[in-house]
Amino acid sequence: MMATMGVNVVVGIRHQISMDDPDDEAVTEFAADLFSVRQALVDCALPVWEEPEVGSAEVVDFELFGEAGVHALRRVAAHLQTYAILPPPDEDDDDAADDETLQVVYDEGPRYWVQPKQGEQPAVHGHPNDASEAYDHLIHHSDADGCYVPVEFAPVIVDERAYGGYVGSAHRLLEECLRLAVALQIPLDLDPDSDEVWDAADGTLEGAKGWQRYGVETYTCLRLIDAARRSIETGAAIFFV
């Protein structure tokens, strides 16, 4: 059964907010969210990043299959990370968030993460080698808000002061989704809005094989790949809205 739409990722959101209503309180709230993310980067001694000014990065909205679509892709990632094999296709992707393997990975937390501390050295947990086959940036992130910044760093930033509580790297999200695309046998030139993908997501594609057995996951993976590439290209963060 295909999941309900509802959660999007946006690249170039400053442009969108400013164009909607330059005087709206959303502009002030967005500035506070940006500050919290930048501060987390500073406290982790990572490169300084600024969201592009209005007009320099046109907004692009990548529609997902709601939170259920994100959970469906995370379920696949959790099984690959844990067992190195794909799980069977989920008959009802609305239940993906309750998958036992995914819940264990959630509970264990990222294999490599950093906790910034203002005025102190950040606390680093785990090691890059521990996360080489993991999907930390995809899995350990809010599925309703938060952002991925176009800054390359390996550990997930875990900071309750930052917008969304987690800060991910668009570079790492791209790398992880590309690995998932290989595992799912997704052609990278596949159009996520094609009838073939939508039929696969609806479960109405006859003789489905390979990626076609994972229609919702394929759609979500392709959209996140596009968003991450757009983020890296423009310097604008990926925001969940």
Percent of the chain at pLDDT > 70 equals: 91
Enumerate the H helices of 140-240 as residue ranges.
Answer: 170-184, 195-202, 215-234
Give the mean model confidence (pLDDT) for residues 79-104: 90
Contact (CB, 8 A) for 114 and 123: yes
pLDDT for the residue numbered 173: 98
CB burial of residue 136 (10 Å; 0-12, 13-18, 19+): buried
Band the pLDDT of 95: cuts 50, 70, 90.
Answer: confident
